[in-house]
Structure 1
Amino acid sequence: MNNPLVSEFNTPFRTAPFSKIKSEHFEPAIKQGIAMAKEDIDAITKTIDEPSFTNTIEALEFSGMQLKRITSVFFNLNSAETNEDIQKIAQIVSPLLTEFANDIRLNETLFNRVSTIFKIKETLNLTVEQNTLLTNQYKMFVRNGANLNEDEKSQLRTIDTRLSKLSLKFGEHVLADTNSFELHITNKEELSGLPEGTKEAAKLTAKEKNKKGWIFTLDYPSYVPFMTYSENRSLRKRLAIAFGAKGFQNNENNNENIVLEIVKLRHQRANLLGYKSHAHFVIEERMAQNPETVSSFLNELLDKASPAAKDEFDQLSEFAKNNDQIETLEKWDSAYYSEKLKKELLDLDEEQLKPYFKLENVLNGVFTVSNKLFDLKFEEDKMIDTYHKDVKTYKVFDSSSNFVAIFYADFFPRAGKRNGAWMTSFKDQWIKNGENSRPHISIVCNFTKPTDSKPSLLTFNEVTTLFHEFGHALHGMLANTVYPSLSGTSVHWDFVELPSQILENWCYEKEALDLFAKHYETGESIPMELIDKIKKASNFLEGIATLRQLSFGLLDMGWHGNDPSTINSVKEFESNAFKNTNLYPEVSKNCMSTAFSHIFQGGYSSGYYSYKWAEVLDADAFDYFKSNGVFNKEIALSFKENILSKGGTENPMSLYKRFRGKEPNSDALLKRAGLLKKH
């Protein structure tokens, strides 16, 4: 079988040849990639030369590069364009990859060589980046069992293999429950309150499924507008309960036992390595450094946000009661009455905004903002191969026409794609043998598809989502480091959200909005009156929103910061974790944890607090821009050179202070959120 994955990609810019790759190519390619990577490791361990930074540390860093390319393609497709074949292959290859990773981490000869160099690092005259790489490699061994005895190493292998399978199964269950539900409406009266674009999209979904009427799904572009605008409370309830029941139903997709097994195995693993909990293990390698700092941070924000959140909830409840005689405000009322209250208080209707946010215009807008800040130019290239017809591809250049990156953009929902939005990489950046090998970066979102009569028009929340993911993409595209493991977004987890969250701020600035917020039919720029309303709305019900984010962070720390061995009920544990952040009545049929993909499928376990942590950084950093001009070239250049290009080469606080001149202050966040005056 001619397998395009097993050799270097013979394409322009060495992009992945997606159209030539078939599902059956992956398993043999990954097995061959593992064999090639093992040869790389053997070359390091079997050399008779004394250990040196070049023959051990750098050699290890650049080992298994073909395997990394193959697996990046495979796991990205498993998230964005999966099918039953790919899911089955994932269950086969994940344990093999885990076993291989453990073969490296538990290789005594390799560890001894790394350890030898680590012990004499002060004498080696290393650069800051080389020192970081050496320290990271040494810690990678120690934090993954290099100092354990053989019996303990065997236990660790068993735990890691099991965890890799459970994580995949968790995600498959969430996707299956998402795809299996549909709200099929045939009575036009049940569409009352819904915008025309939403109804048209639902009609298109029904048509695609060969059904009459309208179909609403649990995909965000379908779910969110229905919950925001539908006047039919019973249908909102039905949809909300289905959304909250993913992984929590009495079917083959139930994730309760998987959640319990994951947290217990993570705890056992941490104990085996000498840590009190999984959170202690994880956060040691974060800016926060320990769970106590995280808990203190979350609870301090909780204290400051709670009074505002309770006042806002009372106001929302009163509004629903006065308007529709709603005695008890439920979760399925939240978006609906929030939108109505916002319209009454601020005279702002999300539907008013959407005509100004045609997807193509917003994308061009974020390109223009990137050009004004960082001198980047984006050229669409339809010849670059993609994994789906909806994916757009761009070549990225700097102001001197030097090639910077390949950029992929995948915007619409489909059956093989998980919900949400994320940035990822098909190829990292590095410098070797004098060549600066540039990255291939992708953002994946789930926006409303264009219909027969309307282009894809984004809600303002979707606009900020696009800017957010593009901020991550900039972190990847502007990477300029020697080593791939320190490149781009390979930074401390509670630092990684700074580039993404800071870029959202430009969505609220007139100077930026004037560049792209144009009516899709008339070309008219968004009126200043609407810009003022967007700014005022940015703090609307911010206390409630903050409490919601904090609740997720506290739930994550609850699962991972203590011994979970006595937990038997996922729902009961979750309810207890939420008790200080709950505003709405409990819904017995719903459970957050069983679909909490960030912490049980993604990499956010013991790290969900990072969003709020990074908000402190981004508010403080944008305050610096705001005080000196949002397109201030000097500050943008400093941000590019000290944050975006440096990846994980240095301690993030050192990088931040070099950019900002001081440590961040949380007052900027509280002031922006309007919580200072409410406390």
Structure 2
Amino acid sequence: MSADQPTPSPQTAGNPLLAPWTTPFGSPPFDEIATEHFRPAFDAALAEHLREVEAIAGNPAEPSFENTIAALERGGRTLSRVAAAFFNLTSAHSNDALEAVERDIAPLLARHRNAIQLNPALFRRVDALFARRGALGLTPEQDRVLERYHIGFTRSGAGLDEPAKRRLAEIGERLATLGTQFGQNVLADEKAYALVLDGEADLAGLPPELRDAAAESAAARGLAGKHAITLGRSSIEPFLQFSARRDLRETAFKAWLARGEGAAADNRPIIAETVALRAEQARLLGYPSYAHFRLDDTMAKTPEAALGLLRSVWTPARARALREQEALQALAAAEGGNFEIAAWDWRYYAEQQRKAEYNLDESELKPYLQLDRMIEAAFDTAHRLFGLSFAERHDVPVWHPDVRAWEVTGRDGQLVGLFYGDYFARPSKRSGAWMEAIREQDKLDGEVRPIIVNVMNFAKAAEGAPSLLSFDDARTLFHEFGHGLHGLMSDLTYPSISGTNVARDFVEFPSQLYEHWLERPEILRRHALHYRTGEPMPEDLLRRLLAARTFNQGFATVEFISSALVDLDFHAAGADAADPAAFERESLARIGMPAAIAMRHRPPHFQHIFAGSGYSAGYYSYLWSEVLDADGFGAFEEAGDVFDPDVAKRLGDFVYSAGYLQDPAKAYQDFRGRPPEPAALLRKRGLVEAAE
């Protein structure tokens, strides 16, 4: 039995969440789990974990690493299993009943976390250990785990007086409820909307693969014979890119922009309350703003450092975007368009501009970017870098028929972990792409191998046809698989610092670095094969694709940085952002946001920062990590081989396998041999000329 399995008891009978999982790899028995199993499983698991914590806090023995920190690491195994299965479903395959359970359980989980983090007896034990850490004879990993526990308790308010702790607990519960409702509101808007295309006139300009995907979307909504564009990126972005119907582009784009602010599901009051509560939380903890609180425990350390990076890139990016806009305006005028380029026009005319400058057509690329081949490309890259092998398993229970599972082994043939891929958009899945761990790696009581999930929202092709990706889709696949490797390759004893449990502005480094291999001729020549002929991508097309890699980067950088700046603005302002719509307008006006570009994520559907606290005041971290990935890939280029075994070993040892074992800046320097050079980011995005 795996070390993370519960001990069988009479009380577990009939509930697969609480019984031992006898499935391959000890994976969740999704084929047996029903919605009604979750609430009793949560109740039992929460009670069990609380008993474990109370036993640790009340232990009459002198605090030691083993009876306090290691004991905390061992606790909550059942709760982790139940929560992992539950939140995987609520994000990837939800329904009304699951959402009702989620609304009930969110404040209970927050209350449970508070009961642990604000437990005075437990904090006294952790604090006493931390005070004499140098005399405990700890290993480097144990010392790091103790440090992270002390930081976690302190940042949760464990050292404050009782009134402050009570208020922090109330805030935590309310924020959990608000975040859950925010995410459910966005999903409701995305599920409810479809732009129905009826007839050839509505389909003008759309390539065959997009028509097929839109027909599939319509059929799934009971609209057989029609075509439907949804609010998933893999549906609406290509529609905006190719549709010759400006009126339909405008309709679809405005619906996309308005997610989360409809009358029935308006997230703006949730935003106002959320930022006010987070500001109060930060003040109670001794910080001038929530942004200061969040960034204090990151690589950036301060909002000023994050803003410094964002502003240094914003200026050349905005200048580049305005030049791009002039070129697009000229294209529209040449067609006889008597209008100013709007946000719903940009992708359409940018596609035309790309054809003109690089003779590159997205529809020319897609036949070479089959989903199955791109999955193989991601696996092949991992094999060549780290010696990993992937064997598909058909005996592992999954939560939807489209989900696939692979057994992952290392160079020695030993099990590394289990990997799930859930690639297609559906109404039951929230938008976007993400990685999560159903089970994290540890070696605390025997080897526990990780179970890792990648979730995407690609358009599914018609039955029997291969699903074809855009190059951006393929990049997303590599990005999320980079996160997946960070979880799979983890090699630590203690789960709290394993896998992706690292600083927020370091967690994107392994994923963004992995994107580089997609653009390598060595990978594209082997895996970018035409879905009909099996022929590799022609060298001329490959050359044009790589030449165009920095095309439209002014636009891409502006839409990202504007979102990151508005995120920091909200979390610096707190209660001053009582009118989120007005605050958004004022924030964008201050930075001179071009009218023809919209934020990548407007506040009412900005789930990174409002559907939970994961990236709150931290959306900048993608750019911070991009400095590392742009500079870090240079180590392979300087070695003259993008699969150089020595560089790959350092990358595996100090980054992908190392979790939060040491400070991220030190981890990067151990891999690279020096600190990162920020100029690498501007070079990667093609913004060097604009900066000069």
Measure the CA separation in 2 of the matches of 1:139 and 1:78.
Answer: 30
Matched, 1:213 2:234: no
Matched, 1:115 2:127: yes
User: 1:43, CA displacement in angstroms?
Assistant: 1.8
Q: Which shifted more, 214-223 or 376-385?
A: 214-223
2:606 equivalent among 585, 596, 610: 596
Q: Which shifted more, 371-380 or 590-599?
A: 590-599
User: In the TM superposition, what whole-angstrom CA distance separates every residue of 1:618-638 from its partner, at most 9, and x where no partner exists?
Assistant: 000111112221111111111
Matched, 1:458 2:469: yes
Matched, 1:34 2:46: yes
After the TM superposition, which residues 195-594 of structure 1 pair with which residues of structure 2 at under 5 Å, given as runs? 195-211=207-223, 212-249=225-262, 251-433=263-445, 435-452=446-463, 454-562=465-573, 564-579=574-589, 580-585=591-596, 592-594=602-604
User: 1:307, CA displacement in angstroms?
Assistant: 2.1
Runs of 4+ in 1 over 3 A off after TM superposition: 585-588
Residue type of the partner of 1:152? Answer: A
Measure the CA separation in 1 of the matches of 2:598 and 2:647.
Answer: 48
When residues 187 and 100 of structure 1 are mapped into structure 2, their CA distance, relative to the original with a 3 A threshold, is same
Residue type of the partner of 2:448? Answer: S
User: 1:591, CA displacement in angstroms?
Assistant: 8.5
Residue type of the partner of 1:592? Answer: R
Measure the CA separation in 2 of the matches of 1:341 and 1:171.
Answer: 36
Measure the CA separation in 2 of the matches of 1:652 and 1:208.
Answer: 45
Matched, 1:63 2:88: no
Matched, 1:655 2:667: yes
User: In the TM superposition, what whole-angstrom CA distance separates every residue of 1:560-611 from its partner, at most 9, and x where no partner exists?
Assistant: 123x2233321111112112252125999x9810001111114110110011
User: In the TM superposition, what whole-angstrom CA distance separates every residue of 1:316-337 from its partner, at most 9, and x where no partner exists?
Assistant: 2222222242430000001100
Q: TM-score, normalised by structure 2?
A: 0.96
Q: Would you say the 8 A contact 1:551–1:581 is kept in 2? A: no
Matched, 1:142 2:154: yes
Measure the CA separation in 1 of the matches of 2:239 and 2:542.
Answer: 25
Measure the CA separation in 1 of the matches of 2:431 and 2:291.
Answer: 26
Measure the CA separation in 2 of the matches of 1:305 and 1:206.
Answer: 38
Q: Which residue is equivalent to 2:91?
A: 79
After the TM superposition, which residues 163-202 of structure 1 pair with which residues of structure 2 at under 5 Å, given as runs? 163-202=175-214
Q: Which shifted more, 134-143 or 163-172?
A: 134-143
Q: Would you say the 8 A contact 2:215–2:226 is kept in 1? A: yes
Q: Would you say the 8 A contact 2:328–2:350 is kept in 1? A: yes
Q: Would you say the 8 A contact 2:498–2:659 is kept in 1? A: yes
2:59 equivalent among 40, 43, 47: 47
Q: Would you say the 8 A contact 2:229–2:236 is kept in 1? A: yes
Residue type of the partner of 1:29? Answer: A
User: 1:464, CA displacement in angstroms?
Assistant: 0.4
Measure the CA separation in 1 of the matches of 2:338 and 2:581.
Answer: 27
Residue type of the partner of 1:508? Answer: E
Q: Would you say the 8 A contact 1:8–1:66 is kept in 2? A: no
Q: Which shifted more, 207-216 or 350-359?
A: 207-216
Q: Which residue is equivalent to 2:33?
A: 21
User: 1:453, CA displacement in angstroms?
Assistant: 5.7
Secondary structure in 2 aligned to 1:519? coil
User: In the TM superposition, what whole-angstrom CA distance separates every residue of 1:506-544 from its partner, at most 9, and x where no partner exists?
Assistant: 111111112211111111011111111111211002122
Residue type of the partner of 1:238? Answer: T
When residues 573 and 240 of structure 1 are mapped into structure 2, their CA distance, relative to the original with a 3 A threshold, is same
After the TM superposition, which residues 92-103 of structure 1 pair with which residues of structure 2 at under 5 Å, given as runs? 92-103=104-115
Measure the CA separation in 1 of the matches of 2:77 and 2:385.
Answer: 33
Measure the CA separation in 2 of the matches of 1:8 and 1:118.
Answer: 36
Secondary structure in 2 aligned to 1:177? helix
Q: Would you say the 8 A contact 2:432–2:457 is kept in 1? A: yes
Measure the CA separation in 1 of the matches of 2:361 and 2:598.
Answer: 29
Matched, 1:621 2:621: no
When residues 670 and 21 of structure 1 are mapped into structure 2, their CA distance, relative to the original with a 3 A threshold, is same
Measure the CA separation in 2 of the matches of 1:91 and 1:480.
Answer: 35
User: 1:140, CA displacement in angstroms?
Assistant: 1.3
Q: Which residue is equivalent to 1:632?
A: 644
Q: Would you say the 8 A contact 1:197–1:454 is kept in 2? A: no
Q: Which shifted more, 41-50 or 327-336?
A: 41-50
CA-based RMSD:
1.5
Gaps of 5+ in 2: 1-12
User: In the TM superposition, what whole-angstrom CA distance separates every residue of 1:216-274 from its partner, at most 9, and x where no partner exists?
Assistant: 1112222111111000000000000000011122x210111001001101101111111
Matched, 1:89 2:89: no
User: In the TM superposition, what whole-angstrom CA distance separates every residue of 1:465-510 from its partner, at most 9, and x where no partner exists?
Assistant: 0000000000000000111110111110000111111111111111
Q: Would you say the 8 A contact 2:655–2:667 is kept in 1? A: yes
Q: Would you say the 8 A contact 1:248–1:591 is kept in 2? A: no
Secondary structure in 1 aligned to 2:492? coil
Measure the CA separation in 1 of the matches of 2:91 and 2:271.
Answer: 20
Secondary structure in 1 aligned to 2:156? coil
Measure the CA separation in 2 of the matches of 1:544 and 1:188.
Answer: 31
When residues 411 and 160 of structure 1 are mapped into structure 2, their CA distance, relative to the original with a 3 A threshold, is same
Measure the CA separation in 2 of the matches of 1:535 and 1:33.
Answer: 52
Gaps of 5+ in 1: none
Measure the CA separation in 2 of the matches of 1:440 and 1:452.
Answer: 29
Report % sequence identity.
37
Secondary structure in 1 aligned to 2:428? coil
Residue type of the partner of 2:244? Answer: E
Residue type of the partner of 1:600? Answer: F
Measure the CA separation in 2 of the matches of 1:79 and 1:622.
Answer: 32
Q: Which shifted more, 371-380 or 153-162?
A: 153-162
Measure the CA separation in 2 of the matches of 1:288 and 1:474.
Answer: 24
When residues 624 and 326 of structure 1 are mapped into structure 2, their CA distance, relative to the original with a 3 A threshold, is farther
Measure the CA separation in 2 of the matches of 1:581 and 1:133.
Answer: 44
Q: TM-score, normalised by structure 1?
A: 0.97
Q: Which residue is equivalent to 2:681?
A: 669
Residue type of the partner of 2:275? Answer: V
Secondary structure in 1 aligned to 2:324? helix
- Say how many residue pairs are matched: 675
Measure the CA separation in 2 of the matches of 1:567 and 1:458.
Answer: 39
When residues 194 and 453 of structure 1 are mapped into structure 2, their CA distance, relative to the original with a 3 A threshold, is farther
Q: Would you say the 8 A contact 1:468–1:504 is kept in 2? A: yes
Measure the CA separation in 1 of the matches of 2:519 and 2:179.
Answer: 37
Measure the CA separation in 1 of the matches of 2:216 and 2:433.
Answer: 22
